[in-house]
């Protein structure tokens, strides 16, 4: 598949992630009496990844996230030469989704960007008032484990066809943990889109939501490649092994 088509798939996939995830936060989280709350927003983010994994996973790999792309490079699953095109497409998709979301949200009387527009933040702009250090640690750890789940569930030895479910549920869990801490990033593109429209403090704090997820992704990719990756010969051995000897082959 040409890089241009794969990058275009990443653009649309990231658009869907930001529009669906941030859209649920901006439009539905606190809707009068029937708001979906944190749980609903967490599920929305997970569903965007789950649905797009089936839609474009066979085209681009469905990264939807610069940190994931970096982690896959470190994990030996993605060519570094393709990284710039993916990151640019992901960021543009996130900005475009935020723009469409702004047009919709601003159609309601009383709408104000002062509400944060689903931006990520720390300290005074953390939903729960968490410190910079706490937010940094949360984003690094959660992104690292996100990469471990992605790399593990897409491994040749993993059950086939279930990776989108594992990855979508993992992102849901990540949001359930960290919405009160940072409003959950683990994705620099997702953070960039809303921050551009909010400006001010959101742009001033955006650096954290590039640095921490990328550091976490590098750690996750390195851990996976160092401790859990196997050679092609070992994979062939496991695949060709009989059920009786499968346990020995893995060991």
In 10 A of CB 223, how many CB atoms? 18
Asked if the model's pLDDT at residue 13 lies above 50, the reply is: yes
User: Could you tell me if residue 247 is inside a domain?
Assistant: no
User: Could you tell me if residue 248 is inside a domain?
Assistant: no
Supply the range of the domain harboring residue 27: 3-108+116-240
User: Could you tell me if residue 84 is inside a domain?
Assistant: yes
Q: What is the pLDDT of residues 196-249, one digit of tens each?
A: 999 999 999 999 999 999 999 999 999 999 999 876 555 454 444 444 433 443
Sign of CA pseudo-dihedral 76, 79, 84, 89: negative
pLDDT of residue 229: 83
Provide the whole-model pTM. 0.90
Which percentage of the chain shows pLDDT scores above 90? 85
User: Could you tell me if residue 68 is inside a domain?
Assistant: yes
In 10 A of CB 165, how many CB atoms? 15
User: Could you tell me if residue 91 is inside a domain?
Assistant: yes
Q: What is the pLDDT of residues 112-133, one digit of tens each?
A: 999 899 999 999 999 999 999 9
Dist. CA 105–CA 34, nearest whole Å: 18
The residues, any chain, with a CB within 8 Å of residue 116's CB and separated by 6 or more, are 125, 183, 194, 198, 202
Radius of gyration of the chain from Cα atoms? 19
pLDDT of residue 30: 79
Average pLDDT, the chain: 92
Asked if the model's pLDDT at residue 167 lies above 50, the reply is: yes
User: Could you tell me if residue 136 is inside a domain?
Assistant: yes
In 10 A of CB 80, how many CB atoms? 11
Q: What is the pLDDT of residues 90-103, one digit of tens each?
A: 999 999 999 999 99
- CATH classification at residue 31: 1.20.1080.10
Q: What is the pLDDT of residues 170-206, one digit of tens each?
A: 999 999 999 999 999 999 999 999 999 999 999 999 9
Which of 107, 94, 110, 109 is closest to 188 using CA atoms? 94
User: Could you tell me if residue 130 is inside a domain?
Assistant: yes
Domain count, the chain: 1
User: Could you tell me if residue 249 is inside a domain?
Assistant: no
């Amino acid at each position: 598949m040409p890089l241009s088509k794969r990058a275009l798939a990443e653009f649309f996939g990231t658009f869907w992630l930001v529009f669906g995830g941030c859209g649920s936060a901006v439009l539905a989280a606190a809707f009068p009496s029937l708001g979906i709350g944190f749980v609903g927003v967490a599920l929305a983010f997970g569903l965007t990844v789950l649905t797009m994994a089936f839609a474009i996973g066979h085209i681009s790999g469905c990264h939807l996230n610069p940190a994931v792309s970096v982690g896959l490079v470190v994990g030996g699953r993605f060519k570094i030469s393709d990284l710039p095109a993916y990151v640019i497409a992901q960021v543009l998709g996130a900005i475009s989704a935020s723009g469409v979301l702004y047009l919709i949200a601003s159609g309601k009387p009383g709408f104000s960007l002062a509400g944060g527009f689903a931006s990520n933040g720390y300290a005074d702009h953390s939903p729960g008032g968490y410190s910079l250090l706490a937010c940094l640690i949360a984003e690094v750890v959660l992104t690292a484990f996100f990469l471990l789940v992605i790399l593990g569930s897409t491994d040749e030895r993993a059950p086939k066809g279930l990776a989108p479910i594992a990855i979508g549920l993992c992102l849901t869990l990540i949001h359930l943990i960290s919405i009160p801490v940072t409003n959950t990033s683990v994705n620099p593109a997702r953070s960039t889109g809303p921050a551009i429209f909010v400006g001010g403090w959101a742009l001033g704090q955006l650096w954290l939501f590039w640095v921490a997820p990328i550091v976490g992704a590098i750690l996750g990719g390195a851990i996976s490649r160092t401790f859990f990756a196997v050679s092609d010969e070992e994979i062939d051995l496991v695949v060709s092994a009989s059920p009786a000897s499968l346990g020995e082959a893995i060991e």
